[in-house]
């Protein structure tokens, strides 16, 4: 694993044979100091932006930074911003396509680890303001990060989706026809929208069979008219009542190796569908590795535990 490696846009430009202007991402001549972190392969460029309330990078610049051929490469750019109210800091994120999601589960683990590292802090809990509300990650002594993700949003219009509710105001195993196949969709928001799918045409999802179709199938769910804010989509295979396997198509990022909010949403959906038990921690195997997810009955909160690791740090020069 690389550590403290300096990176410059000039070097990117020379390597790619492109002009300096084609890789310029900063609005001024001041270099962008960054660190790249990953959580189960879901990778982000982290920026300490606590000196000002607005991100120092624009969405258009974030697209260039996230380019895996001509930029640093990543699924998004995450900013540690000044706190709001009784919090420690604020999180904002620009996806690799320049869109701004409400929150990111793997990203907030990376943010907590990033701030802990640069502040040289002992293991502690952080109160982080996000567009999805208050999220509280906690650095554990073993280096893992446990995140109190709050309560899931289950009312269909608040997810949001226009699919008809099947259980009160909740959309559970509702039919959605895509490319001639009928998928049973359960809709959950973890502050961002998720469509969770355990079965298609009456048969359980098999990840190995679906894997090759994801690049073509994912966008058809993400931009389906029944999801007015677009959606993240998780396809899930049940291994046991406390162990599932998934692949994800993320809104604004496409196929990724992991999605923390998606792992939380699919456990909620699995419990609502009667496929997963609520009285225990569920292991969720993502392409990048496992997360531990618990939907506690005591407070109705979702808890996610998983890793966040530094890949390298450096400066991106104008």
Three-state SS for 84-143 is CCCCCEEEEEEECCCCCCCCCHHHHHHHHHHHHHHCCCCCCECCEEECCEEEEEEECCCC
Token pair belonging to 21: 């202007």
pLDDT at residue 21 is higher than 70: no
Average per-residue pLDDT for the chain: 91
3-state secondary structure of 36: strand
Does the reported pTM lie above 0.95? no
DSSP strand pairing (302-306 vs 289-295)? antiparallel
Mean pLDDT of 182-206: 97
CA distances from 86 to 115, 128, 134, 143, 174 (A): 17, 9, 10, 26, 40
Please give the angle made by the CA atoms of 215, 221 and 222, to the nearest 5 degrees.
Answer: 85
For residue 317, the model assigns a pLDDT of 84
Instruction: Tell me which of 66, 200, 259, 282 is the catalytic residue.
Output: 259
pLDDT at residue 19 is higher than 60: no
For residue 29, the model assigns a pLDDT of 60
Instruction: Tell me which of 66, 104, 200, 264 is the catalytic residue.
Output: 104
For residue 211, the model assigns a pLDDT of 85
pLDDT at residue 146 is higher than 80: yes
For residue 137, the model assigns a pLDDT of 98
Strand-pairing partners, residue 232, are 194
For the chain, where are the E strands, in sequence order? Answer: 32-39, 42-48, 76-81, 89-95, 128-130, 133-139, 145-148, 174-178, 181-189, 193-200, 203-204, 232-240, 243-250, 254-255, 282-286, 289-295, 302-306, 309-316
Strand-pairing partners, residue 35, are 46, 313
pLDDT at residue 111 is higher than 80: yes
pLDDT at residue 231 is higher than 50: yes
In angstroms, what is the C-alpha Rg of the chain? Answer: 19
Mean pLDDT of 239-244: 98
Q: Is 259 a catalytic residue?
A: yes
Q: Residues of the chain with pLDDT > 70: what percent? A: 91
Token pair belonging to 104: 């990111």
CA atoms within 13 A on the CB side of 43: 16
Q: Is 264 a catalytic residue?
A: no
CA distances from 127 to 91, 103, 196, 233 (A): 10, 14, 28, 28
Least confident of 29-38, 108-117, 171-180, 219-228: 29-38
For residue 7, the model assigns a pLDDT of 41
pLDDT at residue 303 is higher than 60: yes
Mean pLDDT of 100-122: 96
Residues 6+ apart with CB under 8 A from 182: 175, 176, 200, 201, 202
pLDDT at residue 25 is higher than 50: no
Grade residue 236 by pLDDT with cuts at 50, 70 and 90.
very high
Q: Please give the distance of CA 276 from its chain centroid, rounded to a whole number.
A: 22
pLDDT at residue 106 is higher than 70: yes
Q: Measuring CA to CA, which residue among 176, 237, 178, 250 is closest to residue 210?
A: 237
Q: Residues of the chain with pLDDT > 90: what percent? A: 89
Mean pLDDT of 226-234: 98
Strand-pairing partners, residue 289, are 286
DSSP strand pairing (174-178 vs 193-200)? unpaired
For residue 17, the model assigns a pLDDT of 38
pLDDT at residue 23 is higher than 90: no
Q: Measuring CA to CA, which residue among 157, 137, 160 is closest to residue 251?
A: 160
Q: Residue written as tokens 């509300």?
A: 133
Mean pLDDT of 216-222: 97
Residues 6+ apart with CB under 8 A from 12: 18, 23, 70, 71
Condensed to tens digits (0 to 9), the pLDDT of residues 148-190 reads 999 999 999 999 999 999 999 999 999 999 999 999 999 999 9
Grade residue 318 by pLDDT with cuts at 50, 70 and 90.
low
């Amino acid at each position: 694993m690389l550590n403290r490696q300096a990176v410059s846009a000039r070097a990117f430009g020379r390597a790619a044979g492109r002009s300096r202007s084609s890789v310029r991402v900063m609005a001024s001549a001041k270099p962008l100091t960054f660190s790249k972190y990953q959580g189960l392969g879901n990778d982000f460029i982290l920026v300490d932006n606590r000196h000002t309330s607005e991100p120092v990078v624009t969405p258009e610049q974030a697209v260039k930074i996230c380019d895996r051929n001509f930029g640093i490469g990543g699924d998004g750019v995450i900013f540690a911003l000044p706190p709001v109210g009784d919090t420690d800091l604020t999180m904002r994120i620009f996806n690799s396509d320049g869109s701004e999601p409400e929150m990111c589960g793997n990203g907030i683990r990376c943010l907590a680890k990033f701030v802990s590292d640069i502040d040289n802090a002992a293991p502690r809990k952080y109160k982080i303001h996000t567009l999805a509300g208050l999220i509280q990650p906690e650095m554990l002594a073993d280096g893992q990060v446990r995140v109190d993700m709050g309560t899931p949003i289950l009312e269909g219009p608040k997810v949001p989706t226009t699919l008809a509710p099947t259980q009160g105001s909740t959309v559970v195993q509702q039919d959605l026809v895509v490319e001639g196949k009928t998928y049973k969709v359960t809709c959950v928001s973890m502050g961002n929208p998720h469509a969770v799918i355990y079965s298609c045409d009456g048969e359980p999802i098999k990840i190995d069979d679906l894997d090759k179709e994801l690049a073509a199938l994912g966008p058809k769910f993400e931009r389906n008219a029944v999801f007015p804010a677009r959606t993240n989509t998780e396809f899930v295979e049940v291994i046991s009542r406390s162990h599932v396997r998934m692949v994800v198509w993320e809104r604004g990022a496409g196929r990724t190796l992991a999605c923390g909010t998606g792992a939380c949403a699919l456990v909620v959906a699995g419990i609502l569908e009667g496929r997963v038990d609520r009285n225990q921690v569920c292991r969720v195997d993502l392409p990048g590795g496992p997360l531990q997810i618990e939907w506690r009955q005591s407070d109705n909160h979702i808890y996610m535990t998983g890793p966040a690791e530094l890949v390298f740090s450096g400066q991106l020069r104008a």
